[in-house]
C-alpha cells in the first residue's frame, strides 16, 4: 500500500457543483496534513492545513478522520478558476521529522462552464 | 527577493555535464528541501536539510548532492547528468518540521 493515495481523477464538474476528494494514508503516526493546489507548469501552493477538528476556508472544507486514516477536501460552488491538481500531503514522522512529508500523486479537477 | 527563488528557470544540458541548481530563501526557514516531479510519479524528495550545516537523503538521492553552508542557500548539484534526470525540480522550505512547505517556482531540466 502506498503511503499516501489519492484518486487521480480527472474530475470534470460544471460550475457551481460541489466536489469532494479523499486521500488515505498508511502511517497511523502521521501528525500533520495539508492540501496543496498545483496549476499546470507551476509550483504547488498551500491551499489549507487540515486540523483534527476539521476546518473551513470560504468554499473549501477539510476534514481528518484518524480512525480511518483519511483526509478529505470539499469544494462548494465550484469556479472555473478551481481547475487544478490538488495534492494531499502527509507528514508521517514523529518527533524530528524533517524530510518525512509524503505527497500524493494529485487529483485533477476540471470545472467547465 | 520574496520567498524562495530558484535559478535557472529552465536548462537544456548535455549528458555527462555538471550542473548546479540554485535555491535561495529569505524567510529564515530552518528546513529546506529538493523535490523532483515527474508525470505519473508525483513529487519525490531528493535531499533535505534540517538546518544550516546538516543535510539528509530523501527518497531518490542517487546522482545528486547538496550543501547547506548557510540558512538561505541550498544548491543541488548533478555531478554528471543523465537523461533520467530530466525533470522539473522544486526547492522548498519550511519553518519547522510540522509547518507547510513553501515552494520555489521550479527549474525545468532537460538532459539530452
Is the pLDDT score of B57 beyond 90?
Answer: yes
pLDDT for residue A1: 67
Q: Which helix (H) or strand (E) holds A4?
A: strand A4-6
Give the nearest partner residue to A103 out of B42, B48, B102, using CB atoms: B42
> What residues of chain A lie within 8 A of the CB of B107, using their CB?
none
- What does the pLDDT look like over A37-69, one tens digit per residue? 999 989 999 999 998 888 999 999 999 999 999
51-110 in chain B: CB under 8 A from chain A = 56, 58, 90, 97-98, 100-106
Mean pLDDT computed over B9-21: 97
Give the nearest partner residue to A96 out of B42, B90, B97, using CB atoms: B97
Residue of B nearest to A42 (CA): B105
Q: CA-CA distances (angstroms) from residue B27 to A15, A97, B24, B35, B96?
A: 37, 20, 10, 19, 12
pLDDT for residue A88: 95
Cβ of B97 within 8 Å of Cβ of A98? The answer is yes
Which cell is A99 given? 524530510
Amino acid at each position: 500500500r502506498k503511503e499516501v493515495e489519492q484518486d487521480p481523477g480527472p474530475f470534470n464538474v460544471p460550475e457551481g457543483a460541489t466536489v469532494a476528494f479523499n486521500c488515505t494514508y498508511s502511517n497511523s503516526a502521521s501528525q500533520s496534513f495539508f492540501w496543496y493546489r498545483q496549476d499546470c507548469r507551476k509550483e504547488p501552493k498551500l491551499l489549507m492545513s487540515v486540523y483534527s477538528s476539521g476546518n473551513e476556508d470560504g468554499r473549501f472544507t477539510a476534514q481528518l478522520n484518524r480512525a480511518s486514516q483519511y483526509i478529505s477536501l470539499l469544494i462548494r460552488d465550484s469556479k472555473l478558476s478551481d481547475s487544478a491538481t490538488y495534492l494531499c500531503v502527509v507528514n508521517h514522522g514523529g518527533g524530528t521529522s524533517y524530510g518525512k512529508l509524503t505527497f500524493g500523486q494529485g487529483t485533477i479537477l476540471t470545472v467547465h462552464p | 527577493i520574496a520567498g524562495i527563488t530558484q535559478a535557472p528557470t529552465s536548462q537544456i544540458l548535455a549528458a555527462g555535464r555538471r550542473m548546479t541548481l540554485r535555491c535561495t530563501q529569505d524567510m529564515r526557514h530552518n528546513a529546506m528541501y529538493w523535490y523532483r516531479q515527474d508525470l505519473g510519479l508525483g513529487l519525490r524528495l531528493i535531499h533535505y536539510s534540517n538546518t544550516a550545516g546538516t543535510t539528509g537523503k530523501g527518497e531518490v538521492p542517487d546522482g545528486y548532492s547538496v550543501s547547506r553552508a548557510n540558512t538561505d542557500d541550498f544548491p543541488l548539484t548533478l555531478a554528471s547528468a543523465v537523461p533520467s534526470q530530466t525533470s522539473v525540480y522544486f526547492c522548498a522550505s519550511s519553518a519547522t518540521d510540522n509547518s507547510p512547505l513553501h515552494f520555489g517556482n521550479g527549474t525545468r531540466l532537460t538532459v539530452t
